[in-house]
Chain A
């Protein structure tokens, strides 16, 4: 007992310290990422994908649609301005790109960069001729170089950056162009007035999330701006982004939390008042709930730095479970006290107390096993629910064990009322004589054996949340107008070094070109924006004819009548730049938020430093991992792509929906296997605890409930998913709870009453969870409600059987 008390005090101190330190500033996470299963990818690819997902999930796109171009331009400018005034949003567009800054950043790499035409020209012509060409360029009317004469006297670098910026701008604005093209081509034969033109505004949410209030405020601001501009310009504004789904899910979750917790608390209150006819017995249960939830909150927040809103939804349903410990405590305390104050009776009370503690501990262990199983799923949301629930249950249990003795000794259950209700409930169960029970169990097991192979399954990740139809419609419309690329499919190329990865990417493009249904232009890689390292080195060598001694630059200065020594600065800069090769990583970082992290380097810091120091940065350290994400245009032949990727070990074609399905299916199968292992382990635990074969009957309670549940769902045609299987672990845990109480405290009616009341409160919570608007919670709650109802029936039959057996003895 001293151990439990010490543990209880430690937990209380931890909880108080946590809330004191956080000063009530708790972060509620509303991201949907926790509901995404990890795909079956290697760690580096998964890390790279996580970075990409985080970046993309902060994108919010606005599409303005208008009949008139001028109206569209005015509305777009106005919308951009209004959105840029919102603090959590950054308006991104190539308009906002400081191309001058980009050129300044890339200037140091210019001796490795050349246009194809310039490469050819420098190779073919003499230094004198190149100087003459440069001179002619200087006199040319249309010559407006991007770089100053000192940095680019021959004009070759300006030509390169001009071409480079045009390419990048075209790529970054592809969505917008696509939208316009789509609109004009669609309406080619129609009246001009009916043509709808579109403009896209890309914005980015600030890093680190906004919190619930911040999210709601931003949504309200966006709605106000949209409404104002729609009224002002008579335009259409569509929007797209994970943000809108996250706010919608958070709002639904918030409603669920308040609904479940309020109704649960009221329900529990009524059950306790009806059972004990006094407010005194409310103190211990409510203290256990408060301590349990507070501790669970503190631990979860401490571990994850924030608490996911779905965890709170599940946490709200814990109320009905943690209350069980108090109910069992009161029922058995009142039963023991009803035996009278004699010394024999005191021994009996002590004995009963000890058995109660033992039963409560075993009950906690089995419940913890049920919840702990959730931790082994690969869904972060379920892992967090497991941590929260286990902490909450343990703390509630400790509260009952440690504080129970201080509760009033006069608490007495109103056996008449509970008995009456229990009798009504048990009446139909009277048909379950021992023989019928055996036949039923056999039939159930046979049905289970027959049904288990016919169970329908569903592993579609889209089941995880049901988006609001309006948000979904807007998302689809924006995707059709503004996106050229498949949202959930891409190619990942893996390499051990930057140079190797660039080479492998080139090989992929070569193969694509050689595979007829596939078109190389349909694949967009950041490597297309810059020459390969090998080409860059060649470019550097070629430029020796420009910047070497007595070469083109000297000849040009001579032609212009300028002192030759003025060319020394650029010649020296050229000589010192041999190692400065431009890597995709630098380019990706240069475009920062506008371009998602398509190039992934595991040791970015090391790489960066090497580049800055001018080392041969392509030589990565052993164990470094590089990934290149290639975007795929819509309309690509995916079957051909998949076949091609199968022939290239370094190419991974990722279809996120299909991969998620596969991942969920695998998890469902492994969870089912784990469930069987859990049954076996619990059976062993029971056997080692009671050392009687007959004690194994306890396991029959959840086993029969599970069998009945599976058969029923199969008959109803419900498809099984991972969450159903995960809920079966809790059916096991709760069924074991009831079975253990029935077995440990074979005192007939009181045990049955306690089981009945505790099951009613649990059913109330799971039933409420089953009414949740979040499909995951709903699915979980529904299975637990049905499963636990079967648990209740099975445990009452088992308790009755044990009571009859005791009487016979």
Chain B
């Protein structure tokens, strides 16, 4: 069964209206759960739109992703640039550029956004409620919308808020991240394929094929995450 899984980052303030409830109440957590995917291993596509204040046009990019709840996520941008981000469950994150060598992705922001994506895809409400203050609001356009405000002060230095919405009509989940400079990144992502649960996921032919075809280096790192040493070898 293919279930659409949409990730969209949108400008929270522009569409928020009416009631606003604060704190991580059971109602908020229930709303959060309703936005989480049910599948464990799946792949999909995304479109990202980043609005930078001083640039006349938004930066639009698109690509594909593959996720395994046992391993992590490969997030590959294909247009206009080609590079992959690998977020592993072992908390090791990598940047796989098209031509240059693989890099470790260190730093609070990278870790935080990696954990956020992994948390959302895994349906990890515990992580979300631990890291964010959740506010629920109702919106005519998107229905229920959740606003996640980071609790970590270092994260707060870079990210103002993350908004999640799942319009029932479109069967989409929308998430928006507004950074400290009021740059807004919106991503629309859709789940296109699910993979069967397997004890040895690495041997799951369909998943391995999709993973390797998306990013050979990224897939190796996902299956065997090892920190890159200074010489560039892993």
Q: Which A residues form the contact surface with B (CB < 8 A)?
A: 94-95, 99-100, 132, 135-136, 138-150, 162-163, 165-166, 169, 560-562, 566
Contacts and interface: CB of A to CB of B under 8 A. Distances in A.
Most A Cβ at <10 Å: residue of B75, B154, B159? B154
B157 A146 contact: yes
A141 B85 contact: yes
Given A136-B81, A147-B181, A165-B154, A141 B54 contact: no
Given A138-B59, A139-B81, A162-B107, A566 B153 contact: no
A99 B187 CA distance: 28
A176 to B, nearest CB: 13
A136 B114 contact: no
Interface in B185-199: 185, 187
Contact of A166 (B52, B57, B107): B107
Contact of A142 (B80, B81, B110): B110
B157 to A, nearest CB: 5
Task: Report the 6 A-B pairs with minimum CB-CB distance, sorted nearest first.
Answer: A144-B158, A144-B179, A142-B113, A142-B110, A148-B181, A139-B61
Interface string B25-62: 00000000000000000000000101011111101010
B80 A566 contact: no
Contacts of A99: 153-154, 157
A133 B95 CA distance: 12
Given A149-B52, A149-B54, A165-B154, A139 B77 contact: yes
Contacts of B154: 99, 165-166, 169
> Interface majority SS on A: helix, strand, loop or mixed?
loop
B55 A144 contact: no
Contact of A139 (B59, B107, B180): B59
Most B Cβ at <10 Å: residue of A138, A141, A146, A162? A141
Given A100-B180, A140-B77, 4 more contacts: A135-B81, A138-B50, A148-B53, A162-B107
A162 B80 contact: no
A166 B50 CA distance: 26
Contacts of A138: 50, 52, 59
A310 to B, nearest CB: 44
B167 interface: no
Contacts of A136: 81, 83, 97
Given A136-B97, A144-B159, A163-B107, A150 B54 contact: yes
Contacts of A135: 81
B139 to A, nearest CB: 24
B105 interface: yes
B142 interface: no
A146 B83 CA distance: 22
B75 to A, nearest CB: 6
16 contacts: A99-B153, A100-B180, A132-B81, A139-B80, A144-B109, A144-B159, A145-B179, A145-B181, A148-B181, A149-B52, A149-B54, A149-B55, A150-B54, A166-B107, A166-B108, A166-B154
A562 B55 CA distance: 7
A144 B48 contact: no
Contacts of B107: 162-163, 166
B214 interface: no
B85 A142 contact: yes
A166 B105 CA distance: 15
B77 A149 contact: no
B177 interface: yes
B183 interface: yes
Most B Cβ at <10 Å: residue of A94, A100, A142? A142
A95 B153 contact: yes
A439 B177 CA distance: 98
Contacts of A143: 109
Contacts of B52: 138, 149
Given A100-B157, A136-B83, A162-B109, A149 B61 contact: no
Given A136-B83, A149-B54, A562-B55, A141 B48 contact: yes
Contacts of B81: 132, 135-136, 139
Nearest to B98: A136
Contact of A146 (B93, B95, B180): B180
Contacts of B95: 140
B109 A142 contact: yes
Contacts of B54: 148-150, 566
A338 B85 CA distance: 112
Interface string B55-94: 1110101000000000000010100110101000000010
A555 B53 CA distance: 19
Contacts of A165: 154, 157
B179 A141 contact: no
A235 B201 CA distance: 47
Contacts of A145: 158, 179, 181, 183
Contacts of A163: 107
B83 A560 contact: no
Contacts of A141: 48, 75, 77, 85, 113, 117, 185, 187
Given A144-B159, A162-B108, A560-B55, A139 B50 contact: yes
Contact of A149 (B48, B113, B159, B181): B181
Most A Cβ at <10 Å: residue of B55, B95, B179? B55
Contacts of A150: 54
B150 to A, nearest CB: 11
A131 B122 CA distance: 36
B42 to A, nearest CB: 18
A638 to B, nearest CB: 34
Contacts of B179: 144-145
Contacts of B50: 138-139
B91 to A, nearest CB: 14
A146 B179 CA distance: 8
Contacts of B113: 141-142, 144
Contacts of A561: 57
Interface string B98-129: 00000001011110011001000000000000
A763 B50 CA distance: 87
Nearest to A129: B100
Contacts of B114: 142
B43 to A, nearest CB: 16
A146 B158 CA distance: 6
Nearest to A93: B153
Nearest to B111: A142
A160 to B, nearest CB: 11
Given A138-B59, A144-B109, A144-B180, A94 B83 contact: no
B108 A94 contact: no
Contacts of A169: 153-154
A143 B53 CA distance: 15
Contacts of B53: 148-149
A144 B150 CA distance: 14
A149 B181 CA distance: 8
A94 B114 CA distance: 24
A183 B224 CA distance: 33
Contacts of B77: 139-141
A146 B155 CA distance: 10
A158 to B, nearest CB: 8
Most B Cβ at <10 Å: residue of A94, A147, A148, A562? A148
Contacts of A140: 77, 83, 85, 95
A94 B157 CA distance: 12
A140 B113 CA distance: 11
A693 to B, nearest CB: 83
Nearest to A138: B59
A144 B95 CA distance: 15
Contacts of A560: 55, 59
Nearest to B155: A144
Given A136-B97, A165-B157, A144 B177 contact: yes
Nearest to B108: A166
A141 B49 CA distance: 10
Contacts of A562: 55-56
A100 B110 CA distance: 19
Contacts of A147: 181
